[in-house]
Structure 1
Amino acid sequence: MEGEPTAELIRAQLRRLRLKAELSQEEFGKLVHFSGSQVSAVELGQRPLDRFFLKRADEVLGTGGLLMSLLKLAERDGQPNWFRPWLEAERDAQQLWCYHPTLIPGLLQTENYARTVIRADDMLSDDAVEKRVAVRLDRQAVLNRAQPPKLVAVIEETALRRADEGFRGLMAQQVAHLIECVGCPHVSVHVIPADVSTHVGLAGPFSLARGSDGGWIAYLENQLGGTTIDKDQDVATLIARWESVRSEALPQRQSTLLMKEVMTSWT
């Protein structure tokens, strides 16, 4: 991300705002709890952009959150090319349908759950993990906008119950978050009970987004990344499979009761 134009813009804005405030690098460093040499390294691109640093810089310089907003854009710019079309579709969607056979969909993940899932890839550095967590949480902002999309998520009961002793507290937090989410009129979560042994969705996760023009776009995840689908025939196939998956799931009220029962069973 550090070579992206948006990241360069952040560094330029940081320096401009610091000079406008008539602060030396040493003076500014004391205010944001960094050394003057660290401030210099950030401005020169010799040190990665740090979320804590930029958050403190926004507070000290009174930017109204400008630097953190630019950081979110830089993190989006740093996403692989295959993911960017789906990010655009997700942000512009009026309806979102998500199904995952083994995990909670990303738009409904808590920060701790997201970090644990992402960290399961042992090829990622700690810094890469945190950047991916930040992007995933940033995506969830679509659900909090003035006119949010209608999100319908279908999950498996087995995904809810994946909780050994070390994972149980995290999962309790995650399931509680799901129950809180369904309290919003634009979010529905439906659970496929464990006694449904097989259905078409088990072939893999997928999501669908309907834009303001009424057209649908789909997204398929895989081990190497994902693919955005926009061919009418392929999208129609996935819509049909969604309807099949959705028909296997419990209604909202029963799904919520099942989620509560799962939490009760842990205590």
Structure 2
Amino acid sequence: MASLEEDAAEIRNFEPSIVPGLLQIPDYARKIIAIGSAKHPRDVEALVDFRMSRQRVLNQPNPPRFVPIIAEAVLHNQVGRDPRILRAQVLRLAEVARFDHVELCILPKMASEYLALTTSYALLSLRPPGRLTASVVDQITGSIFVEDEAKVAVHEKTFELLLSATLSRSASLRLIERVASQT
């Protein structure tokens, strides 16, 4: 996944219940990773470090266009017992949403029926010469990499349908900022 992200011209990501990994702060990532594994704390820290290193892709010269869609509930879903984690995470979302190459979109709660379309997944469109688009679908036991053009096309159409139900980029940022000020 990290290799695909580094080679991507565009990354589109749908997350119905958590903040996308490329946007997670360390404390948030630590809670998500720890709850999802029975690993030794040292292993959790290694995975958090790896997730944080993946985020460099958004700050490199000529970064990929990043279009994450998150459900509005994600802005309110507290991770861990410390509410400061959620506040810091939402503030990070507001910061990244201002990047020129990031189009963070919120799927509002009034469009929750769209959550039934799919689980979380990412579409990674690689830079030339390959021009391949792959879909990475998250599952409990791991991720499935989909490269079949017909299946990827369905994933792309689904993403466009989800995108059509989101708030605009500016309205998404205003909502994120409002939630940040209230948490």
| TM-score bracket relative to the smaller structure | over 0.9
Q: 1:148 aligns with which of 63, 68, 77?
A: 63
- Pairing 1:183-202 to 2, within 5 Å after superposition: 183-199=98-114, 202=117
d(CA) in 1 for partners of 2:152, 2:168: 25
Unpaired runs of at least 5, structure 1: 1-85
Q: Paired residue for 1:243? A: 160
> Relative to structure 2, which stretch is displaced further, 139-148 or 257-266?
257-266
CA RMSD of aligned residues (A): 1.6
Aligned partner of residue 109 in structure 2, secondary structure: coil
Cα gap change, 1:112 to 1:216, in 2 (>3 Å): same
Structure 2: runs of 5+ lacking an equivalent: none
Shift of the 93–102 alpha-carbon distance from structure 1 to 2, 3 Å rule, reads same
Q: How does 1:113-152 map to 2 (within 5 A)?
A: 113-152=28-67
Considering fraction of residues, name the structure with more helix. Answer: 1
Structure 1 segments (4+ residues) deviating >3 Å? none
Identity of aligned residues (%): 26
Aligned to 1:160: 75
Determine which structure has greater relative contact order: mean sequence separation of CA pairs < 8 Å that are 6+ residues apart, divided by chain length. Answer: 2
Distance of 1:263 and 1:212 partners within structure 2:
35
The alpha-carbon deviation at position 165 of structure 1 amounts to: 9.0
Larger Rg, first or second structure (1 or 2) = 1
Residue by residue over 1:201-248, the C-alpha shift from the partner in whole angstroms, topping out at 9 and shown as x without a partner, is: 653001001111332111000000101111001100100000011111
Relative to structure 1, the CA distance from residue 187 to residue 201 in structure 2 (aligned partners, 3 Å threshold; closer, same or farther) is farther
Q: Shift of the alpha carbon at 1:194?
A: 1.2
Q: Give 1:101's aligned residue.
A: 16
Give 1:228's aligned amino acid.
Answer: F
TM-score, reference length from structure 1: 0.65
Following superposition, the deviation at residue 263 of structure 1 comes to 2.0
In the superposition, the TM-score normalised over structure 2's length comes to: 0.93
CA contact (8 A) 2:75 2:90 kept: yes
